[in-house]
Amino acid sequence: MMDNTAALEALDTLTLATRLGEACRARGASVTAAESCTGGGVAHAITEVAGSSGYFETGYVTYSNAAKTRQLGVPEATLAAHGAVSREVVHAMVAGACRDSGASLGVAISGVAGPGGGSEAKPVGTVWLAWGDTHAQQAVCRHFEGDRHAVREQALRAALAGLIVRLEAEQATQEKFAER
């Protein structure tokens, strides 16, 4: 997969959300978001685009561990063993969001936006993101700079960019096989 995530992340949120909508329509895909530190920012960005109801039905703001367990089925043992800001938790979040919503692709975000709450192991700006569906997920840990607003905004753009990259890669693969 050709990864142009960094170039996409430089775009403004509305441009990213618009491009995501175009990619969803081209692929016939639906998306969902399971959010913690972004507090619904991804869902807000997606629904800023007219017609987004055609590919976005629901999102989840699971700010507390209890909400992650109750709404997304994240095992309490996973949260206890790894903490909310971890690969294991965002994998479970995106799988749970896709399972509950029926979306073909989802993104999950959990991080430390600050100004407090950080630790030596997970300083302020640490954000885990995962993309995938009920069966397979891919996660990445990012370290964003700036204040709370900046960390959340960067996480939001990274989430949208990751969805676009995956959808466009799937579309390119489908087109390649259709030509054969």
* Average confidence score pLDDT of the chain: 94
CATH-assigned architecture of domain 18-178: Alpha-Beta Complex (3.90)
Q: How sure is the predictor about 170, in pLDDT bands with cuts at 50, 70 and 90? A: confident
Q: pTM of the prediction?
A: 0.94
| Model confidence pLDDT, tens digit, residues 16-52 | 999 999 999 999 999 999 999 999 999 999 999 999 9
| Predicted local confidence at residue 2, as pLDDT | 43
3-state SS of the chain is CCCCHHHHHCCCHHHHHHHHHHHHHHHCCCEEEEECCCCCHHHHHHHCCCCHHHCEEEEEECCCHHHHHHHHCCCHHHHHHHCCCCHHHHHHHHHHHHHHHCCCEEEEEEECCCCCCCCCCCCCCEEEEEEECCCCEEEEEEECCCCHHHHHHHHHHHHHHHHHHHHHHHHHHHHHHHCC
